[in-house]
Structure 1
Amino acid sequence: MRKVVLAAMVLCFAATGAFAQILKPVTWQFGAKKISKDEAVVFIKATMDEGWHIYSQHVEEGGPIKTSFTFSPSADYTLVGKPAEPKPKTKYEEVFAMNVGYFDKEVVFQQKIKLKKGATTVKGAVEFMACDANQCLPPDEVEFAVAVK
């Protein structure tokens, strides 16, 4: 009897899991372009599903999780400034009681680097939070490695 109950529970959880959907409304692409023999730009592009958005890097304390970038230290290059972003859309969000900058559809962030040798790989991670009109997903992190030639 115990085996029958256990088998029924496993079957129930398996059936429930088959209907559960993991939401991944943001996809990321990474690339780089040399702009001179010792400088390059790393491009970090987010594409959001219809109705979803991510937040700007410049969100005040007490707001949603802002998009942020970390770059692995390297002897091959140095970062020039901070990642650049286009002007975000802004809206008042009741839940945070403030105006917040956000991007929907797609956005391209750019990080300029100074090369210490001709070719390298820029490694790092982007942390972000995706929201739609009904929910926000927990913050997520995506690692990247971009070849600069």
Structure 2
Amino acid sequence: MKNLFLFTLGLLLSFSASSQILNPVKWSYAAKKISKTEAVLYLKASIQNGWHIYSQNIADGGPVKTSFSFKLAKDYKLNGKTIEPKAIIKFEKSFEMNVSYFEKAVIFQQKIKLIGPQALVKGTLEFMACDDHQCLPPENVEFSIPVS
């Protein structure tokens, strides 16, 4: 009876461990006014060790690149494109091409022109996280960044 209990417990624990949801990337957001009419948005990905996310600059046929979509609003306008720091470039066999990616952490920046004294910038971002053995399905994340 004791062996049956231990077997059942071991089986349940193994199912529980294999069904854990992987979430290797956490996003955080901030904004900083640089003048009365301009601000910079900061969209930071904190990435668990062993994982990476891809640059915005990936050629067709590769992994899902990180992308940002900002909702139109009357209290701000985008000023240029979303910028990123220099990425790591490496040939990945699974895609048979050089890819650009980030490990540990990356901060994307978007300048905006303020129409009023404050704004609420909303949008969505898409990214894909991979490690040396697997890629997770692309994920869409909604964000809301107050600027005051």
TM-score, length of structure 1 as denominator length: 0.88
- For 1:1-149, list aligned pairs within 5 A: 16=15, 20-149=19-148
- Mapped to 2, the partners of 1:59 and 1:16 lie a distance apart of 36
RMSD: 1.5
- Mapped to 2, the partners of 1:148 and 1:58 lie a distance apart of 27
Report the alpha carbon displacement of residue 16 of structure 1 after superposing the two structures with TM. 3.8
Report the alpha carbon displacement of residue 33 of structure 1 after superposing the two structures with TM. 0.3
Distance 1:64 1:118, change over 3 A: same
- Mapped to 1, the partners of 2:110 and 2:123 lie a distance apart of 11
- Mapped to 1, the partners of 2:65 and 2:145 lie a distance apart of 23
Consecutive unaligned residues of structure 2, counting only runs of 5 or more, are 1-10
Alignment-mate amino acid for residue 63 of structure 1: G
- Mapped to 2, the partners of 1:26 and 1:16 lie a distance apart of 24
Consecutive unaligned residues of structure 1, counting only runs of 5 or more, are 1-11
- Give 3-state SS (helix, strand or coil) of 1:81's partner: coil
Find runs of 4+ consecutive structure 1 residues off by over 2 angstroms.
15-19
Alignment-mate amino acid for residue 26 of structure 2: T
Report the alpha carbon displacement of residue 97 of structure 1 after superposing the two structures with TM. 1.2
Q: C-alpha deviations, 1:35-88, integer Å up to 9, x for none?
A: 000000000000100100000000000000000000011011100111000010
TM-score, length of structure 2 as denominator length: 0.89
Alignment-mate amino acid for residue 72 of structure 1: K
Among all aligned residue pairs of Structure 1 and Structure 2, give the percentage whose two residues are the same amino acid. Answer: 55
- Give 3-state SS (helix, strand or coil) of 2:68's partner: strand
Q: How many residues align?
A: 137
- Mapped to 1, the partners of 2:19 and 2:60 lie a distance apart of 34
Alignment-mate amino acid for residue 115 of structure 1: L
- Give 3-state SS (helix, strand or coil) of 2:81's partner: strand
Larger strand fraction of residues: 1
